[in-house]
Structure 1
């Protein structure tokens, strides 16, 4: 996570593991609810993947980390990274086809900070997947969009204050009343009109209109304003990321 400086001692140690900082590197992070409390199963999969050429595989708490440096510079592309990720999943599913795995994959990096950068990007991709409610599949860091920026601000006091100011009253209302207006707000912001929101939530359109009005009253804003929708959307994403990290930790 970047808490260790890469000095000569670290460089020598990484060299003994077969890692060359001058060559392209990617990191895959494998996350699954099935790993929690099942260390033996996790270690068995690490053993299965450990035979993969060009890989360093390790137990990363409840996850599995994979550093891969098997290709050359000309072939270090997003496509080749995705092919490698699919090959990893295929090996795992040959061992246990019932597992549900989220695989986060980084961009290609080189240099002394490549381990930190690739790990952070792979981890960010898994967080983004979980924010979307995904329990399996391959997710590349390049596809995160605005979440690339938001994940970097986790733990930032300014980000926490922003969430509190934008949607704090709505979060508290849900907690006190047992409602789900935060979820309704998220759905309203994701769709072009309330009819589509109602269809997605299996609600009558009038119910969604009522909820929209209640949300606007609680927050003291109009959801018809572009700037307001943008600010609320960012706050919701930050809130979701925080929730995922809390559960994961």
Structure 2
């Protein structure tokens, strides 16, 4: 299952004009994805609903889960490339759910596609095609139905740091994120943040003091990393 959503980048317009433009974009998307499917020998059912286009692709690649995934990604990239080149002022993104042989479970693929869209767009503004399989640790987080438990985990691990940033206008949470994204290398993090390496080291000491984290501990690093990922998920 693939779910296409459009971001209108044209600017402000009346509610009626926005509704009419959305209807046109949805119709154009349905026509385009059907044509691309047909041109590639794929059987597809596409339906416009609310603010999205839902596409059901029939498996034609034989049975390998990897082959099905690759086929859906290839289709998604071709479709978004065509749509984004022909619809100025509108950016189309697609989320892709896992293959389901049992049609009674197709709703699970739809929910995965929606989750891939919301999380993928939140963590990377440049990504237009997001497969649920590529969400990594977010796949595990998404399985947690208790949002309050996730929020409590973030507060427990990062709460003091978040509060400190909000009160003082600092960027310690972002520094910690960049530090992890650069394999826990202060030097690499400094290059990404465009600051001196000593500045990063000083921030890491402050982070440890405020959040009560021992960044030399693998366990504390893992817990802080998970808390950051959960924070991204909750904001998606």
Conserved in 2, the CA contact under 8 Å of 1:154 and 1:242?
A: no
CA shift for structure 1 position 191: 1.8
Match in the other structure for 1:28? 3
CA contact (8 A) 1:104 1:141 kept: yes
Q: Identify the residue that residue 56 of structure 2 maps to in structure 1.
A: 68
Distance 1:98 1:34 in 2: 5
Q: Is this contact kept in 2: 1:100–1:136, CA < 8 A?
A: no
Taking the aligned partners of 2:147 and 2:233, their CA distance within structure 1 comes to 12
Aligned pairs for 1:54-65 (under 5 A) are 54-61=44-51, 64-65=52-53
For 1:216, the equivalent position in structure 2 comes to 208
4+ long deviations beyond 6 Å: none
Instruction: Tell me which residue corresponds to 1:86.
Output: 77
Do the aligned residues in 2 keep the contact of 1:100 with 1:135 (CA within 8 Å)?
A: no
C-alpha root-mean-square deviation of aligned residues, in Å?
Answer: 2.4
Task: Report deviation, 1:217.
Answer: 0.5
CA–CA separation in structure 2 for the residues paired with 1:85 and 1:133: 17
Q: TM-score, normalised by structure 1?
A: 0.77
More helix by share: 2
Q: Distance in 2 between matches of 1:150 and 1:174?
A: 25
Matching of residues 91-170 of structure 1 within 5 Å: 91-153=82-144, 155-170=146-161
- Structure 2 unaligned runs (5+)? 39-43
Can you give the 5+ residue segments of structure 1 that lack an aligned partner in the other structure?
Answer: 1-25, 245-249
Q: How many residues align?
A: 217
Structure 1 contact 56–67 (Cα < 8 Å) conserved = yes
Distance in 1, Cα, partners of 2:146 & 2:4: 21
**Do the aligned partners of 1:188 and 1:194 also contact (CA within 8 Å) in 2?**
yes
CA distance in structure 1 between the aligned counterparts of 2:106 and 2:19, rounded to whole angstroms: 24
Structure-2 residue corresponding to 1:10: none
* Secondary structure of the corresponding residue to residue 93 of structure 1: helix
